[in-house]
């Protein structure tokens, strides 16, 4: 353990005084933690691969599939530009989240607990938990739809069974989460390959696809709401907490070059992972748009396109998979939902540990989140059937979009603060771009909220007293929402971060015995959340 006389907070639990400057790339048997050697080599990139791909799973979850299918069926290629904008914004934002963890040694939730007073910190924690539940709802419904297609189980029973599937998944992680993730990724990429192949049969017009990608438009009733759902399904608040924590699972050299290399490689890895997710989302929208807007569509498929959801979407792949289209689509949908469960569990652990300094056993934590997601899903599935459950996915995605500012603004404030990031603070150009992105997201949300609320007040047949009461209540809620955003934006950062980065290439930390060591970041508490062991792991 490094000496505490340096005055810096000790975020590490080291196993000795060895220098990792010339160490090979290894994985510690006790902590499953990857050590990055302090050398300038492109081979280091493989040590950083993992967090970006784990985060990108959330971009191809059942919520994304649902909103993509409806966007293509209702507006053909008109909303493709939302996917492009959201993917570019996601790359910038996720890179900032990774940088925050790499540079400071603490993830976003921990910074929020340090920076904000107890009241605002508690509110931010509640909002983060709501976002995780909203993210879990599409996974619950997607899994229920998959069970319905595979075994003809009613959707409402499938919703109940999702709790058991979560326990099975967490149990399997103890035997090697990497193998499990590779299997899930293979299944999800299989369905992606099927959609790519289906594009050859659907033959979307290239000029129309390009027009949809690069010409912003919101035509038709409900286009704005679906655009917000697409945005919420792509840029999720819990992913910011997740990514800033996942990068702490690597022991990186605490040198100037090591920090810069880690930030650069994490951005490259995130870019590659998000590119794959982007292509999958584009292919789903293009296939849905081309098939559902085809002139020779039979009446049964036309009816399915009128109210398209995950439970009816397998017919889109019939040209490629024939009678197996429903089964394979269901398997991939099941894999997508369960893989997203992994990221939701991790994010929930990091949020609770960061905001409250509290940890739960992973299966308990996941069951609490899953139960909160099951209740509304079960009610809607019983009352509204599969169509109602599909609409609930859209509503959950909209909730994620409205909650995004409460994770995004603290991230932008922290990474733009020199007292927290030191020499690695955002440049003026990056700060401008990120604040523009954040402002556009918040502006779209507020515009949609206000226009729909005013439309509801003006076009109803309620009594005048009810309209007045609803107006006062609604505008008060909007005022509170705006005030909360303004508080986060204009509140100056007060807490400085003791940076773990070295100020020069040849500076080292000195321990109590006088030995020099590279100052690394072995956050075993983060690692033990990711990779639960069959033996009891001591919390740090």
Residue by residue, what is the 3-state secondary structure of 485-537? HHHHHHCCCCCCCCCCCCCCCCCCEECCCCCEECCCCCCHHHHHHHCCCCCCC
Average pLDDT, the chain: 77
Residue 169 has pLDDT above 80, yes or no: no
- Kindly report, residue by residue over 232-241, the tens digit of the pLDDT: 777 788 889 9
pLDDT at 486: 93
SS3 457: helix
Domain 42-458 sits in CATH at 1.20.1740.10
Domain ranges of the chain: 42-458
What is the signed CA dihedral for 388, 390, 392, 393, rounded to 10 degrees? 180
Residue 147 has pLDDT above 70, yes or no: yes
pLDDT top residue among 422 and 367: 422
pLDDT top residue among 46 and 31: 46
Q: Which residue's entry shows tokens 């733009």? A: 416
SS3 readout for 237-285: HHHHHHHHHHHHHEECCCCHHHHHHHHHHHHHHHHHHHHHHHHHHHHHH
- CA gap 276, 57 in Å, rounded: 10
pLDDT tier, 362 (very low <50, low <70, confident <90, very high otherwise): low
Residue 401 has pLDDT above 80, yes or no: yes
Residue 540 has pLDDT above 70, yes or no: no
Residue 513 has pLDDT above 60, yes or no: no
Number of CB atoms found within 10 A of residue 179's CB: 11
Edge-first strand order for the sheet with 26-27 is 26-27, 34-35, 250-251
pLDDT tier, 380 (very low <50, low <70, confident <90, very high otherwise): confident
| Residue 421: both structure tokens together | 């990031």
Q: Are 425 and 496 in contact (CB under 8 A)?
A: no
pLDDT tier, 174 (very low <50, low <70, confident <90, very high otherwise): low
467 Rama sector, left if φ>0, alpha if ψ -120 to 50, beta otherwise: alpha
CA 516 to chain centre: 39
């Amino acid at each position: 353990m490094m000496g505490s006389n340096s005055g810096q907070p000790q975020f590490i639990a080291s196993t000795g005084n060895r220098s990792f400057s010339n160490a090979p790339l290894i994985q510690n048997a006790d902590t499953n933690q990857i050590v990055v050697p302090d050398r300038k080599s492109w081979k280091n990139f493989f040590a950083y691969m993992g967090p970006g791909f784990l985060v990108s799973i959330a971009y191809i979850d059942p919520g994304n599939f649902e909103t993509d299918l409806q966007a293509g069926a209702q507006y053909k290629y008109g909303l493709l530009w939302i996917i492009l904008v959201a993917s570019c914004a996601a790359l910038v934002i996720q890179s900032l989240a990774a940088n925050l963890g790499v540079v400071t040694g603490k993830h976003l939730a921990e910074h929020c607990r340090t920076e904000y007073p107890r009241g605002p910190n508690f509110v931010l924690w509640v909002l983060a938990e709501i976002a995780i539940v909203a993210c879990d709802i599409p996974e619950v419904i997607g899994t229920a739809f998959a069970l319905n297609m595979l075994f003809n189980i009613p959707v409402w029973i499938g919703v109940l069974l999702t709790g058991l599937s979560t326990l099975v998944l967490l149990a399997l992680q103890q035997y090697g989460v990497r193998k499990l993730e590779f299997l899930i990724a293979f299944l999800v990429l299989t369905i992606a390959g099927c959609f790519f192949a289906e594009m050859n049969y659907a033959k979307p017009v290239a000029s129309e696809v390009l027009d949809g990608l690069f010409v912003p438009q919101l035509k038709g009733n409900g286009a704005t709401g679906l655009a917000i759902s697409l945005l919420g399904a792509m840029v999720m608040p819990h992913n910011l907490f997740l990514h800033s924590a996942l990068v702490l699972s690597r022991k990186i050299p605490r040198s100037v070059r090591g920090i810069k290399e880690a930030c650069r490689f994490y951005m490259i890895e995130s870019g590659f992972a998000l590119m794959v997710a982007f292509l999958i989302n584009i292919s789903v929208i293009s296939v849905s748009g081309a098939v559902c807007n085809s002139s020779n569509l039979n009446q049964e498929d036309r009816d399915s396109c009128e109210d398209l959801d995950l439970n009816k979407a397998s017919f889109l792949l019939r040209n490629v998979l024939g009678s197996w289209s429903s089964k394979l689509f269901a398997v991939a949908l099941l894999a997508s939902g369960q893989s997203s469960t992994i990221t939701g569990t991790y994010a929930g652990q990091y949020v609770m540990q960061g905001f409250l300094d509290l940890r739960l056993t992973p299966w308990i934590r996941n069951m609490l989140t899953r139960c909160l997601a099951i209740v509304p899903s079960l009610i809607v599935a019983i009352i509204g059937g599969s169509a109602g459950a599909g609409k609930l996915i859209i509503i959950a995605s909209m909730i994620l979009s409205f909650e995004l500012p409460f994770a995004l603004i603290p991230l932008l404030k922290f990474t733009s603060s020199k007292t927290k990031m030191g020499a690695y603070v955002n440049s003026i150009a990056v700060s401008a771009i990120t604040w523009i992105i954040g402002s556009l997201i918040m502006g779209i949300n507020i515009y949609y909220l206000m226009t729909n609320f005013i439309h509801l007040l003006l076009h109803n047949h309620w009594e005048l007293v009810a309209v007045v009461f609803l107006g006062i209540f609604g505008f008060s809620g909007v005022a509170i929402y705006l005030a909360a955003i303004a508080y986060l934006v204009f509140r100056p950062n007060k807490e400085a971060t003791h940076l773990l980065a070295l100020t020069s290439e040849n500076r080292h930390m000195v321990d109590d015995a006088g030995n020099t060591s590279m100052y690394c970041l072995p956050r075993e508490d983060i690692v033990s959340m990711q990779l639960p062991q069959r033996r009891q792991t001591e919390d740090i």
